[in-house]
A and B are shown apart, each in its own frame.
Chain A
Amino acid sequence: QSALTQEASVSGTVGQKVTLSCTGNSHNIGSYTVGWYQQISHGAPKSVMFGNSPPSGISDRFSGSKSGTTASLTISGLQPEDETTYYCSTWDSSLSAVVFGGGTKLTVL
């Protein structure tokens, strides 16, 4: 069982805005910045957000936020190429470890 909880699946239509969530506790999300990673077809994951800052080259359609022990990744103007799996991750002070969510499969209808 993952330390962080993500929706198993989320769907949206082209052009819509969707929000993926990641829930943890005070030892992880409540205390540290959350990263989001996109993994296409079981290739290597790619960072799409750290906190509310996207890495260079990432579309400004992606935005990140956090409230308490829940982090969110919002994708605006949904595109077919956004359809893939997204993982959240952060540090956990009680485990002294990096922890991941179980991943959310995003479907673009």
Chain B
Amino acid sequence: QVQLVQSGAEVKKPGSSVKASCKASGSTFSDYAINWVRQAPGQGLEWMGRLVLRFGVANYAQMFQGRITITADTSTRTIYMALTSLTSDDTAVYYCAGGRSGNYYPYYQGLDVWGQGTAVTVS
């Protein structure tokens, strides 16, 4: 099974961008879809988008379209989530979460493994 380790906490100014990373270890990396899920203080989980590694397919939640990009560097097994035009509403813990991708669209088979989270503060 894949394990996910995320980059450290970030403090950003309003209007700037953040790029969080999620490094995967384990032999089945390419079989996974890596999702990004965030949680604002005191709130629930909010899906932001995903990258299905085997097919190179990316999906983004409507509310983040135009502001989010999820990419992967397969040589280092690292997935990146970049979010632009930050506001205080983007203050949250950002999790990467992986699940094995099915053979057919939407390739969704849950979120088996989670990273430890990256706290992003916009102030």
A45 at the interface (CB under 8 A from B): yes
A55 at the interface (CB under 8 A from B): yes
- Which residues of chain B are within 8 angstroms of A100 by Cβ–Cβ distance? 37, 44-47
B39 at the interface (CB under 8 A from A): yes
Q: How many residues of B contact A (CB 8 A)?
A: 25
A109 at the interface (CB under 8 A from B): no
A78-109, CB < 8 A from B: 87, 89-91, 93, 95-103
B66-119, CB < 8 A from A: 93, 95, 97, 106, 108-117
B45 close to A89 (CB less than 8 A): yes
Report the number of A-B residue pairs with Cβ-Cβ less than 8 Å: 69
Bound-complex Cα distance A37 to B110 (A) = 10
A97 close to B44 (CB less than 8 A): no
Instruction: Identify which of A37, A44, A101 contacts B117 (C-beta below 8 A).
Output: A44
B61 at the interface (CB under 8 A from A): yes
B35 at the interface (CB under 8 A from A): yes
Bound-complex Cα distance A90 to B77 (A) = 26
- Which residues of chain A are within 8 angstroms of B39 by Cβ–Cβ distance? 42
A87 close to B112 (CB less than 8 A): no
- Which residues of chain B are within 8 angstroms of A90 by Cβ–Cβ distance? 108
Instruction: Identify which of A46, A89, A93 contacts B114 (C-beta below 8 A).
Output: A46
- Which residues of chain A are within 8 angstroms of B95 by Cβ–Cβ distance? 44-45
- Which residues of chain A are within 8 angstroms of B35 by Cβ–Cβ distance? 98
- Which residues of chain A are within 8 angstroms of B111 by Cβ–Cβ distance? 35, 37, 45, 47, 89, 98
B62 close to A37 (CB less than 8 A): no
User: From residue B35, how far is it (CB to closest CB) to chain A in Å?
Assistant: 6
Bound-complex Cα distance A86 to B41 (A) = 17
- Which residues of chain A are within 8 angstroms of B50 by Cβ–Cβ distance? 98
B16 at the interface (CB under 8 A from A): no
Nearest A residue to B42 via CB reads A42
A44 close to B46 (CB less than 8 A): no
- Which residues of chain B are within 8 angstroms of A46 by Cβ–Cβ distance? 114
Bound-complex Cα distance A95 to B62 (A) = 8
Known: A33-B108, A44-B117, A50-B109. 7 other contacts (CB 8 A): A2-B44, A32-B106, A32-B108, A37-B111, A89-B45, A97-B59, A98-B47
